[in-house]
Amino acid sequence: MSLDERFIKAAEDVKTLKTSPNEDELLELYSLYKQGSIGDVNTPRPGGLLDFKGKAKWDAWNRKKGISQENAKEAYIAKAQLLIETYGTK
Protein backbone atom coordinates (compact mmCIF):
# COMPACT_ATOMS: atom_id res chain seq x y z
CA MET A 1 0.00 0.00 0.00
CA SER A 2 1.30 3.48 -0.83
CA LEU A 3 1.80 6.15 1.82
CA ASP A 4 -1.28 8.04 0.59
CA GLU A 5 -3.41 4.90 0.73
CA ARG A 6 -2.21 4.12 4.28
CA PHE A 7 -2.89 7.76 5.29
CA ILE A 8 -6.44 7.63 3.94
CA LYS A 9 -7.07 4.25 5.61
CA ALA A 10 -5.78 5.56 8.95
CA ALA A 11 -8.09 8.57 8.67
CA GLU A 12 -11.04 6.24 8.08
CA ASP A 13 -10.00 3.85 10.85
CA VAL A 14 -9.85 6.52 13.58
CA LYS A 15 -13.49 7.37 12.85
CA THR A 16 -14.42 3.96 14.28
CA LEU A 17 -12.78 4.30 17.71
CA LYS A 18 -14.92 2.95 20.56
CA THR A 19 -14.10 5.92 22.76
CA SER A 20 -13.29 9.46 21.75
CA PRO A 21 -9.64 10.39 22.35
CA ASN A 22 -8.87 13.24 24.74
CA GLU A 23 -8.55 16.81 23.49
CA ASP A 24 -4.76 16.71 23.20
CA GLU A 25 -4.89 13.50 21.16
CA LEU A 26 -7.56 14.97 18.89
CA LEU A 27 -5.51 18.13 18.34
CA GLU A 28 -2.45 16.03 17.52
CA LEU A 29 -4.45 13.99 14.99
CA TYR A 30 -5.95 17.14 13.49
CA SER A 31 -2.64 18.94 13.15
CA LEU A 32 -0.88 15.94 11.60
CA TYR A 33 -3.77 15.39 9.21
CA LYS A 34 -3.75 19.02 8.08
CA GLN A 35 0.05 19.10 7.75
CA GLY A 36 -0.01 15.82 5.83
CA SER A 37 -2.80 16.78 3.48
CA ILE A 38 -2.20 20.52 2.99
CA GLY A 39 1.27 21.36 4.34
CA ASP A 40 2.10 24.42 6.42
CA VAL A 41 -0.82 26.42 7.81
CA ASN A 42 -2.22 28.62 5.04
CA THR A 43 -4.97 30.57 6.78
CA PRO A 44 -4.92 33.42 9.28
CA ARG A 45 -5.39 32.54 12.94
CA PRO A 46 -9.05 32.81 13.97
CA GLY A 47 -9.65 36.16 15.62
CA GLY A 48 -12.94 35.68 17.43
CA LEU A 49 -12.66 36.19 21.17
CA LEU A 50 -14.70 33.08 21.90
CA ASP A 51 -13.34 30.83 19.16
CA PHE A 52 -11.20 28.80 21.55
CA LYS A 53 -11.56 25.60 19.54
CA GLY A 54 -10.61 27.27 16.25
CA LYS A 55 -7.57 28.90 17.82
CA ALA A 56 -6.46 25.66 19.47
CA LYS A 57 -6.74 23.78 16.18
CA TRP A 58 -4.88 26.52 14.28
CA ASP A 59 -2.13 26.67 16.93
CA ALA A 60 -1.71 22.88 16.89
CA TRP A 61 -1.40 22.89 13.10
CA ASN A 62 0.99 25.85 13.14
CA ARG A 63 3.29 23.94 15.53
CA LYS A 64 3.77 21.38 12.73
CA LYS A 65 5.12 24.06 10.39
CA GLY A 66 8.14 22.86 8.45
CA ILE A 67 7.36 19.13 8.75
CA SER A 68 7.17 17.57 5.30
CA GLN A 69 3.82 16.22 4.19
CA GLU A 70 5.33 12.74 3.95
CA ASN A 71 6.67 12.85 7.52
CA ALA A 72 3.37 14.23 8.79
CA LYS A 73 1.49 11.41 7.06
CA GLU A 74 3.79 8.80 8.64
CA ALA A 75 3.33 10.42 12.07
CA TYR A 76 -0.45 10.52 11.57
CA ILE A 77 -0.53 6.82 10.66
CA ALA A 78 1.53 5.97 13.76
CA LYS A 79 -0.67 8.11 16.02
CA ALA A 80 -3.84 6.60 14.56
CA GLN A 81 -2.49 3.08 15.16
CA LEU A 82 -1.62 3.96 18.77
CA LEU A 83 -5.13 5.31 19.36
CA ILE A 84 -6.69 2.21 17.80
CA GLU A 85 -4.59 0.02 20.10
CA THR A 86 -5.53 2.20 23.09
CA TYR A 87 -9.25 2.68 22.48
CA GLY A 88 -10.19 -0.16 20.13
CA THR A 89 -12.65 0.10 17.27
CA LYS A 90 -16.38 -0.49 17.00
- The whole-number pLDDT of residue 47 equals 87
What does each C-alpha distance from 13 to 42, 73, 76, 85 come to in angstroms?
27, 14, 12, 11
Nearest to 40 by CA among 88, 83, 72, 75: 72
CATH class of 3-87: mainly alpha
SS3 content of the chain, % helix, strand, coil (to 5): 65, 0, 30
* pTM metric for this prediction: 0.94
Please report, in angstroms and rounded to a whole number, the separation of the first and last CA atoms in the chain.
24
Domain boundaries, the chain: 3-87
Residue type, 70: E
> Tens of pLDDT along 34-87?
999 999 999 999 988 899 999 999 999 999 999 999 999 999 999 999 999 999
- The whole-number pLDDT of residue 62 equals 98
CB 24 within 8 A of CB 32: no
